[in-house]
Amino acid sequence: MTKQEKVYVNKFKVDWAEDSLGLWSVKNFEVEKKSIQNLRLALHGRPCIPGIYTRLTHDIRGIVMSDTTAEALDHYEAYKQAKGKVLINGLGLGCFLRIILTKPEVTHVDVVEVDKNVIGLVGRYFFDDKRVTIHCTNALTYEWGRKKWDVVWHDIWDSICADNIKEMERLRSKFAKYCDWQGCWCEDALEY
């Protein structure tokens, strides 16, 4: 990991209070150097620096997002691209939204989140930022009209799975003429 990536990874971490709303929870957890979780990540080429992290969990679906090193690096290219008007499909733990808002060249961010409880639990940290508009709707079905963004980032999936490819293709096609750059979370880890 480069020095620049290490700085980015540290800024990706959130400091949200542990809390719950509906079936959703924000909780802290520790990754130890020799933990099973860290071994699994390393085996899949997604290393994690030991430390205290935060995760968003759903009572039925399990862990949906965390601010671990692996997750941060999954978003790094989109972070580098972020400028002007940005659309994020999927709020999750809010790590990506938080870190791009540190970039002065990001002027506005539209966030699409399908679950009102995720918005209540995580979105509340952004309600006072006039550059952020959170839309409670489905990224796959919502029609924007002629709106245009500089960057669109799609992150609506809970896990890295080939089953996501069709939705990724659908989102890429849907937004192709409405942005200058777009990407999907962990798309590069999947085989087409």
pLDDT truncated to tens, each residue of the chain (192 aa)?
Answer: 789 988 999 999 999 999 999 999 999 998 877 665 555 555 455 667 888 999 999 999 999 999 998 899 999 999 999 999 999 999 999 999 999 999 999 999 999 999 999 999 999 999 999 999 999 999 999 999 889 999 999 999 998 888 899 999 999 999 999 999 999 998 887 764
Topology given in CATH for the domain delimited by 75-189: Rossmann fold (3.40.50)
In which residue ranges of the chain is CATH 3.40.50.150 found?
Answer: 75-189
Strand order in the sheet with 149-154: 132-136, 106-113, 84-89, 149-154, 179-184
**Residue 164: closest CA among 77, 172, 23:** 172
Token pair of 56 as six digits: 């968003």
Q: What is the DSSP string of 35-57?
A: -HHHHHHHHTT----SEEEEEEE
pTM: 0.92
